[in-house]
Amino acid sequence: MKKDILTLLDLAGDDFEKLFKRALELKERHKKGIADTFLAGKTLGLIFDKASTRTRLSFEAAMIQLGGTSIFISAGDTQIARNEPVRDTARVLSRYLDVLAIRTYSQDLLEEFAEFADIPVINALTDLYHPCQVLGDLLTVMECKGSCENLKITWVGDGNNVAHSWINAAAVLNLNLVLACPEGYFPDQSIMKRALGKGCGKITVTSDIAEAAKDADVIYTDVWASMGQEDEQSARKHVFEPFQVNKELLKMASRDVIVMHCLPAHRGEEISEDVLEGPHSIVWDQAENKLHMHKAVLEVLIKGVDLVR
């Protein structure tokens, strides 16, 4: 039976551990100059509705470095843009490809693809979730801190798709996650309810940024207006200004706090230049780890390594 990664709730704790372990192994092999061809003869398809730098390139580079091939197509160039049913496209692409990564607006569209595709489907970002981003982020936290256990992880900013995936990760991995968001920009309540229903992890949402940052081991932020929200940029800027990650905020955190950002960053908005480029920032390691995590995801899904069904 094929396995999809549509949200992080599709994974169990053991699945995370398998992916982390394999990603670190593949990263070490890459650093040593060892060429791997585990996916020779396999093909990754990428259908993207939204612009991308890191997600697209890291998936393509991951596939190439493992000996496979990738094919990219803009969603606007598919017959879906001319009203072909998603189920028809999904069934045909299953005859051509070994795995499919989709970056789109609608989670429902992604789930329809997965329902009718016979190959693994990966969420490369929707308006609701960004699971592979957070898999790579967790890998980076583990590298820096040795573990994700007993850490206070603080999200600062909009309760967006990346925040939702952090919420799901916290629910599965029993993390201590605090989300500091302005009133009116909290995470989706249905996503929070489902995560809290698992009875694992300590997940809290507050508009008190100082309390959220107090003794934080990890501080994570993202842009104030995501793709598709450009017309809200000016209004959001006024609301989010008190939620900037800057040196004053870091003074409230742990002395060895690490600062994360999924990029692209708007310097001087959600994060100050001196923090982004400062000694606490691990954003470049974080970006690199997308490559190694995507390798692990592709290998596991294509080769059918056991994950919880």
Q: For residue 219, is pLDDT > 70?
A: yes
Question: For 223-259, what is each residue's pLDDT tens digit?
Answer: 997 766 777 778 899 999 999 999 999 999 999 999 9
pLDDT band at residue 162 under the 50/70/90 scheme:
very high
149 close to 128: Cβ distance less than 8 angstroms: no
Question: For 279-303, what is each residue's pLDDT tens digit?
Answer: 999 999 999 999 999 999 999 999 9
| Interacting residues of 164 by C-beta distance below 8 A, sequence separation 6+ | 128, 129, 130, 187, 188, 191
Q: How far apart are CA 128 and CA 162, in angstroms?
A: 8
Question: What tokens appear for 70 in the block?
Answer: 């990738």
Q: How many domains does the chain have?
A: 2
Q: For residue 308, is pLDDT > 80?
A: no
Q: How far apart are CA 266 and CA 158, in angstroms?
A: 14
Q: For residue 100, is pLDDT > 80?
A: yes
Q: Are residues 224 and 147 in the same domain?
A: yes
In a domain, 3, yes or no: no
pLDDT of residue 305: 66
In a domain, 277, yes or no: yes
pLDDT of residue 306: 62
Q: Are residues 83 and 125 in the same domain?
A: yes
Backbone angles phi, psi at 203, to 5 degrees: -120, 115
Domain that holds residue 145: 133-284
Q: How far apart are CA 219 and CA 107, in angstroms?
A: 27
Over residues 198-205, the mean pLDDT reads: 92
Q: What percent of the chain has pLDDT over 90?
A: 92
CATH number for the domain including 154? 3.40.50.1370
Q: Could you say which DSSP state residue 232 is in?
A: G
In a domain, 97, yes or no: yes
- Whole-number average pLDDT of the chain: 95
pLDDT of residue 42: 98
pTM over 0.85: yes
Q: Are residues 107 and 30 in the same domain?
A: yes
Q: For residue 307, is pLDDT > 80?
A: no
pLDDT of residue 227: 66
pLDDT of residue 233: 78
| Interacting residues of 88 by C-beta distance below 8 A, sequence separation 6+ | none
- 42: Cα separation from own chain's centroid: 24
Q: Are residues 44 and 137 in the same domain?
A: no
Q: What is the DSSP string of 26-87?
A: HHHHHHTT----TTTT-EEEEEESS--SHHHHHHHHHHHHTT-EEEEEEGGGSGGGGT--HH
In a domain, 308, yes or no: no
pLDDT of residue 309: 41
pLDDT of residue 201: 87
Question: For 107-161, what is each residue's pLDDT tens digit?
Answer: 999 999 999 999 999 999 999 999 999 999 999 999 999 999 999 999 999 999 9
pLDDT band at residue 95 under the 50/70/90 scheme:
very high
